[in-house]
């Protein structure tokens, strides 16, 4: 598969702070890719370098083979970035904003695509509204449309759903998934891990300017977090021998760490020997949030 974005040894300092400590990874063409990390991990800095808004101190970034510094114009055409912050000209209407952006890319007759964007993002009846009159969520929809106006093959969304309502989330994800289905590469940063879990097929995690995980979603989930066994017992007492497996107790339910199926057999045998009956049993699969905490926590103690 071809490479959509290549980050090679990207370093960036802000004074004493090393915001990016030599970040190396690739996003492949056609992927729906998540870039995750806690506040301050360096995600937005990396995206700003990708969009040519910030210069890396060293290293390089290429979009579909075009270097974002030495071949800025070509790289810029290949990527659409939905920024985290809302920036707009309050005196333009929504349509003018999108026409102006089309002009920036030398696209004069772009109204059919602009209409399609407006319709898909629920902005059809706002085309002639002034930007300053829109609600925050509506402005964010325009930011998304603005990033897509030149039909970029690579689309980067930096926390696009922070503080937006359920309706926009659903409209936005349906549209972005359609574009991904048509071959566009998508990179998403979000703090809503269930969104990343549902949408993305490969995941990178950054922590303090370093890449700490990069894998297919399924492999990451399988390798980083054990399943949990939730048990309700009669009598309601966990035998002492099982205490080391206890990760959480919620009301009358005991959550035990389950490394694999042989552990399950041993746990059940232990309950039998102690004369404890199982009233209810459930195996809980790991979610991306538990993997994320696991990855971030493990690195902290290393």
Ligand X SMILES: Nc1ncnc2c1ncn2[C@@H]1O[C@H](COP(=O)(O)OP(=O)(O)OP(=O)(O)O)[C@@H](O)[C@H]1O
Footprint on this chain of ligand X (rule: CB under 6 A): 14, 17, 19, 37, 39-45
Q: Alpha-carbon distance 169 to 257, whole Å?
A: 34
Q: How far is the CB of 20 from ligand X (least distance, A)?
A: 8
Q: How far is the CB of 158 from ligand X (least distance, A)?
A: 7
Task: Output the CA angle 164-170-173, nearest 5 degrees.
Answer: 100
Q: Are 147 and 80 in contact (CB under 8 A)?
A: yes
Q: Would you list the DSSP string of 230-273?
A: EEEEESS---GGGGGGEEEEETTEEEEEE-SHHHHHHHHHHHHH
Neighbours of 107 (CB within 10 A): 15
Q: How far is the CB of 295 from ligand X (least distance, A)?
A: 15
- Residues composing the chain: 302
Whose Cβ is closer to ligand X: residue 30's or residue 42's? Answer: 42
Q: How far is the CB of 168 from ligand X (least distance, A)?
A: 19
Q: Alpha-carbon distance 97 to 134, whole Å?
A: 13
Q: How far is the CB of 292 from ligand X (least distance, A)?
A: 13
Whose Cβ is closer to ligand X: residue 17's or residue 119's? Answer: 17
Q: How far is the CB of 204 from ligand X (least distance, A)?
A: 12
Whose Cβ is closer to ligand X: residue 71's or residue 210's? Answer: 210
Determine which helix (DSSP H) or strand (DSSP E) holds 213, and give its type and residue range.
Answer: strand 210-216
Q: Are 2 and 28 in contact (CB under 8 A)?
A: yes
Whose Cβ is closer to ligand X: residue 110's or residue 190's? Answer: 190
Residue 54 carries which DSSP code? S
Please give the C-alpha separations between residue 285 and each of 94, 138, 198, 231, in angstroms, as whole numbers: 44, 37, 14, 14
Whose Cβ is closer to ligand X: residue 212's or residue 264's? Answer: 212
Whose Cβ is closer to ligand X: residue 45's or residue 185's? Answer: 45
Whose Cβ is closer to ligand X: residue 19's or residue 276's? Answer: 19
Q: How far is the CB of 191 from ligand X (least distance, A)?
A: 7
Please give the C-alpha separations between residue 140 and each of 62, 102, 103, in angstroms, as whole numbers: 27, 18, 21
Tokens standing for residue 211: 């890449």
Q: How far is the CB of 47 from ligand X (least distance, A)?
A: 8
Whose Cβ is closer to ligand X: residue 46's or residue 176's? Answer: 46
Positive/negative CA dihedral, 87, 89, 94, 96: negative
């Amino acid at each position: 598969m071809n490479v959509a974005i290549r980050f090679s040894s990207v370093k960036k300092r802000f004074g004493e702070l090393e915001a990016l400590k030599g970040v190396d990874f690739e996003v492949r063409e056609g992927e729906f890719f998540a870039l995750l990390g806690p506040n301050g991990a360096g995600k937005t800095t990396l995206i700003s370098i990708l969009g040519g808004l910030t210069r890396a101190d060293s290293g390089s970034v290429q979009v579909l083979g075009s270097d974002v510094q030495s071949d800025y114009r070509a790289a810029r055409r290949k990527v659409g970035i939905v920024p985290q912050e809302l920036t707009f000209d309050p005196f333009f209407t929504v349509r003018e904003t999108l026409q102006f952006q089309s002009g920036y890319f030398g696209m004069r007759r772009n109204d059919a695509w602009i209409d399609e964007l407006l319709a898909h993002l629920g902005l059809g009846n706002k085309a002639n509204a002034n930007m300053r009159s829109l609600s925050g969520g509506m402005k964010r929809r325009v930011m998304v449309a603005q990033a897509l106006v030149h039909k970029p093959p690579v689309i980067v969304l930096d926390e696009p759903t922070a503080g937006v309502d359920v309706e926009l989330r659903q409209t936005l994800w349906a549209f972005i998934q359609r574009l991904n289905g048509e071959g566009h590469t998508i990179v998403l940063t979000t703090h809503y891990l269930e969104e990343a879990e549902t949408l993305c097929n490969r995941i990178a995690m950054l922590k303090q300017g370093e890449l700490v995980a990069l894998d297919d979603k399924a492999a990451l989930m399988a390798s980083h977090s054990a399943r949990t066994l939730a048990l309700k017992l009669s009598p309601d007492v966990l035998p002492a021998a099982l205490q080391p497996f206890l990760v959480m107790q919620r009301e009358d339910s005991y959550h035990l760490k389950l490394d694999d199926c042989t552990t399950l057999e041993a746990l059940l045998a232990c309950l039998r020997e102690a004369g404890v009956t199982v009233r209810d049993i459930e195996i809980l699969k790991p979610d991306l949030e538990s993997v994320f905490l696991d990855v971030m926590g493990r690195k902290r103690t290393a």
